[in-house]
A and B are shown apart, each in its own frame.
Chain A
Amino acid sequence: MIDIEPQVWEMLGRYIGAGLALGLGGLGAAVGMGIAAGQANEGLMRQPDTQGYMLRTMLIGQAVGGSPSIFALVVGLLVLFLPSGRLEGAHFAAAMVGAGMSIGLGCFGSGLGCGWPAGKACDGVARNPRHTTSVTSSMVIGQAVAQSPSIFSIVIALMLLFVVTAPDSVLLTFGMFVGAGIAMGAGALGPGIGSGQTASGAVHGTSRWPESAGLILRTMLIGQAVSQTPAIFGMLVSFILLLGVGDVPLGMMGLAVTLGAGISTGLGGIGPGIGSGAVGDAACQATAAKPRLDTLILRTMLIGQAVSQSTAIYALIIGLLLLFVF
């Protein structure tokens, strides 16, 4: 029989949690910044005269797109060095792993998503240097919205670090905390990637048809808002898991119910988030090319997004059934 001491549990949780936070959270932003730099080089190859504009746009895009990895760094350092006053032993370890999972997966999506609009903006500066300002502002707005899933995941990670209280049962605690981390983290992954894709379509459209920038912005914001619904579902289930679980069974069944609900809602949001983002991408480009068809394209986009959200709703239903029926 192994007897693991509470301090060892705490170290175990800290190391796994910080590894998940920084390993996953840095990955997306790194790839995204690389996409921006690659497109900048490609643009400079075609138009070497634009290097002043290009450097500025690339650096702004990389700076905004890099912020999810900074969120991950902050939470990762907290996970490593936060004193373990409120929770002890295995309970503390579960909270740290959950926080790392939430922030790591959430920042992965947003970091990767923010890279595409930055890349398209660099491409657009080379294509149309006179409209650098409108291209850059469309990029920054799109990136800012694409970061909101990572902000949701910070909220859940900070709740796991500072707010939650644990029940006595170790297995139930593990299910609640890690389940909330997966629900929020994986739930934010798809919307982060999808919103970024929508923003990249909008930036591309703005660079080719700068005169329809206003309509493109409207289509982009609506598309991004719809593609972020799975992240809201994930946050809802995380809140229920962390604050509102009333009479779930203790022990093994409690672990199954809470972890199952988190996995279902979280993973179920990945596909609909990415899919709705792809619809938004195409709709922004179509609106840019044919601004007089904007309402027709907007209607088709919303129908398509609604249908592609259906599986996220099934996953939410299974998650809520697990939490409230069993």
Chain B
Amino acid sequence: METSTIMSLMNMIATQTDAGITNETLISASSLIGAGICMGFGAIGPGVGQGYAAGKACEAIGRNPQEAGLLTRTMLIGQAVAESTGIYSLVIALVMLFVIGG
């Protein structure tokens, strides 16, 4: 029952497209959407995390301005580490765009 519904939905989509869907198109298309999803979700964590680190640095500099240099340096190192997962997402997204999708 369910399989036949899905099959007829697929049929309907296929008749609505301008060119028929081949296996190659399906693979490239999924890897292009996948690149978008990968970078989109991958960007959420580093953004929040780096903001949290910078917020704490502002707070600390407000309390102890003599150590501003040390605090800024520590903040930047922490942020660079938090950036790493964002860069992994970027790399995977680029691989999906240019190696699989292209």
A positions within 8 Å CB-CB of B: 1-4, 90, 168-171, 186, 190, 194, 250-253, 255-257, 259-279, 281-283, 285-287, 289-290, 293, 296-297, 300-301, 303-305, 307-312, 314-315, 318-319, 321-322, 325-326
The distance in angstroms between the C-alpha atoms of A315 and B17, with both chains bound, is 29
B54 engages A305 (CB within 8 Å): yes
Is the CB–CB distance between B47 and A273 below 8 Å?
yes
From 53 to 89 in chain B, residues with beta carbon under 8 angstroms from any chain A beta carbon are 53-59, 61-63, 65, 68, 71-72, 75-76, 79, 83, 86-87, 89
Q: Does A259 lie within 8 Å of B56, measured CB to CB?
A: no
How many whole Å from A283's CB to the nearest CB in chain B?
4
Given A90-B16, A251-B19, A282-B59, A275:B32 Cβ within 8 A: no
B75 close to A304 (CB less than 8 A): yes
Task: Enumerate the 8 nearest inter-chain pairs by beta-carbon distance, A residue then B residue, closest first.
Answer: A275-B51, A304-B54, A271-B47, A260-B36, A286-B62, A267-B40, A282-B55, A272-B47
Contact B13 A171 (CB under 8 A): yes
How far is B87's CA from A264's CA once the two chains are assembled, in angstroms?
Answer: 14
A-B contact count (CB 8 A): 223
Contact B83 A307 (CB under 8 A): yes
**Chain B residues touching A, majority SS:** helix
16 contacts between A and B (CB under 8 A): A1-B11, A251-B21, A259-B36, A264-B40, A272-B51, A282-B58, A300-B72, A301-B54, A304-B50, A304-B79, A307-B54, A309-B47, A310-B46, A318-B97, A322-B35, A326-B97
Given A260-B33, A308-B51, A326-B101 in contact, is the A268-B28 Cβ separation under 8 Å? Answer: no
What would 18 more interface pairs be, CB under 8 Å, given A274-B48, A307-B79?
A171-B13, A186-B40, A252-B25, A256-B29, A263-B33, A264-B36, A267-B40, A279-B58, A282-B54, A289-B62, A304-B57, A304-B58, A308-B48, A311-B43, A311-B86, A315-B39, A319-B39, A326-B97
Asked if B33 and A314 make an inter-chain contact with CB atoms under 8 angstroms apart, the answer reads no
* Closest-CB distance, A91 to chain B (whole angstroms): 11
Q: In the assembled complex, how far is the CB of residue B102 from the closest CB belonging to chain A, in whole angstroms? A: 7
The answer to whether A322 touches B97 (Cβ under 8 A) is: yes
Chain B residues with Cβ under 8 A from A261's Cβ? Answer: 36
Among residues of B, the one whose C-beta sits closest to the C-beta of A179 is: B36
Q: A256-B30, A273-B47, A319-B36 are in contact. Are A279 and B18 (CB under 8 A)?
A: no
Cα distance, A292 to B39, chains bound together (Å) = 41
Cβ of B51 and Cβ of A260 under 8 Å apart?
no
- A270 and B86 CA atoms in complex are apart in Å by 13
Chain B 85-102 interface 0/1 with A at a Cβ cutoff of 8 Å (1 = within): 011011001100100011
Contacts of B48 in A (CB 8 A): 271, 274-275, 278, 308
| Residues of A close to B68: CB separation below 8 A | 296, 300
